[in-house]
Copies of this chain bind each other. A is one copy, B any other.
Amino acid sequence: MARIKPHKNGTKKDLITQKAAALFRLKGYSSASMRHLAEEVGVEAPSLYNHIGSKSEILQAICFKVANAFTFYLDSIDIKYAKCTTLLESIIRFHIKMMLTSFNEVYVANHEWKHLKEPYLSNFLMQRRAYEKRLMEIMEAGMQAGELKKTNAYISVLTILSAVRGLEFLPARKKDISNAELENNMVNHLLKGIIK
């Protein structure tokens, strides 16, 4: 039988993971069957196991790829010496970019993490919590420096993260909004509000 070539610069495992992300987003992890995934890949279900260990291993790969991307971004920006508002703006923009460029993966990480098995579930939640904590520290520094209003930092972080997460609804709506307009609108809304 004909072999399906993996995409250029990617192993077959990568192809499977990518198709799985699309399928998991569409159907949800539990409702997405290995047979259905195999069909998308162009192969019979048992053949998948020549490349992957298990269904849940695919989910792990997706969730941690996303989680690591956010963690690494935070590592990459110089938190100590930048203005808090500049930091927050760049973080918001990064979240929006991730949502637009890795839609399926981010969606799956946001929605299907609860189906991770231990110890991956705990690790994932710990990593997310640590990420939120770092954002809270940025906010609190901003308040002390007088850049930000005094608010409950946790609620503010939650508000920002949830808002950008909501971009998962955008593709379904097919609004023609440029990425720049999208980013600017959200950044302004979340930082300066909407009241004149």
Stretch at the interface among A41-49, A73-81, A144-152: A144-152
Q: How far is the CA of A134 from the CA of B127 in the complex (A)?
A: 38
Q: Give the interface residue-count category, chain A.
A: 35 or more
**A175 and chain B: residue at smallest CB distance:** B154
Tell which of B114, B151, B195 touches A147, judged by Cβ atoms closer than 8 Å. B195
**A139 and chain B: residue at smallest CB distance:** B194
- Which A148-173 residues have C-beta < 8 A from chain B? 148-149, 151-152, 154-156, 158-167, 169-170, 173
Nearest CB of B to A87, in Å:
13
In the complex, whether A117 has a CB less than 8 A from a CB of chain B is no
Q: B156, A194: Cβ atoms under 8 Å?
A: yes
12 inter-chain pairs at a CB distance below 8 angstroms, sorted by A residue, are A27-B114, A28-B30, A30-B31, A149-B196, A151-B185, A151-B194, A152-B185, A154-B177, A155-B177, A155-B185, A158-B166, A190-B193
Q: A152, B166: Cβ atoms under 8 Å?
A: no
Q: B195, A148: Cβ atoms under 8 Å?
A: yes
Q: Is the interface of A mostly helix, strand, loop or mixed?
A: helix
Tell which of B146, B170, B175 touches A196, judged by Cβ atoms closer than 8 Å. B146
Q: B167, A158: Cβ atoms under 8 Å?
A: yes
**A183 and chain B: residue at smallest CB distance:** B155
In the complex, whether A182 has a CB less than 8 A from a CB of chain B is yes
In the complex, whether A109 has a CB less than 8 A from a CB of chain B is no
Q: How far is the CA of A30 from the CA of B28 in the complex (A)?
A: 8
Chain A 173-196: CB-based contact to B (< 8 A → 1; otherwise 0): 101010001100110111111111
